[in-house]
Amino acid sequence: MALHRLAMALGCALAAGWPGAPCAQPVGEPTAPSRIAIADHVRDASRRFGIPEAWIYAIIRIESAGRVRAVSSAGAMGLMQLMPGTWARQRARFALRTDPFDPRDNIMAGTSYLREMYDRYGAAGFLAAYNAGPGRYEQWRDRGRPLPLETRRYVAAIAPLLHGDGLAITASLQPASGAPRFARRGEGSARQGRSDLDHEASAHPFARPAVPRHDLFAPVSTVRDQ
């Protein structure tokens, strides 16, 4: 076997005309995939939690650029950039597995959390709450403490990807003097309490996009963000 490998290496070097030339792997040795299909995971999460697929793809695109093993400087993890505490809570609630970077479980946890933020804060606040955290968003909503620049940029970047809801969401972060700090989607919709997230959403509360605008694959990355 050693002689066979040596012969292959020598043959490659001779063919290239210089010693140490790279050679393709022998046929039959598997290589790691460079991309992972996530469309099924996004579809399942959309059906389970009643969130449009386009919204999930938008979060993934802006939060992690589709990097499966992305880690932010604050410690947020995976495709949908979940903080450790958020991941632990959603994992326990929905019986997910132990790896926060697993594409399916990260998407399930992130989508369930996104739905919680929508139910709690409505269309005007759920993106800011997802990015900055509920407490930080409530400080802005209730006491007028400015949102972080990162959050304002985040909402401005992601809102146009939500197929028609973007304008209202962006505008809601800049309330006029004397106007309510956030708008409601339907009378009292943000105040009616949390819905049961564990059932398959039969009555979809959102309009599904007619034409999906997303990639069906996320690139695999083993390099964590610094």
- 72-82 per-position pLDDT tens digit: 999 999 999 99
pLDDT, tens digit (0-9, with 9 covering 90-100), for 156-200? 999 888 865 544 555 445 443 333 333 333 333 333 333 433 333
- Per-residue burial over 152-190, b if 16 or more Cβ lie within 10 Å, else e, is bebbeebbebbbebbeebbebbebeeeeeebbeeeeeeb
The domain segmentation of the chain, as residue ranges, is 37-162
Question: Sign of torsion, CA 146 147 148 153?
Answer: negative
> Pick the catalytic residue: 29, 53, 63, 187?
63
**Would the pTM count as exceeding 0.85?**
no
63 is annotated as an active-site residue: yes
What is the fold, at CATH topology level, of the domain defined by 37-162?
Answer: Lysozyme (1.10.530)
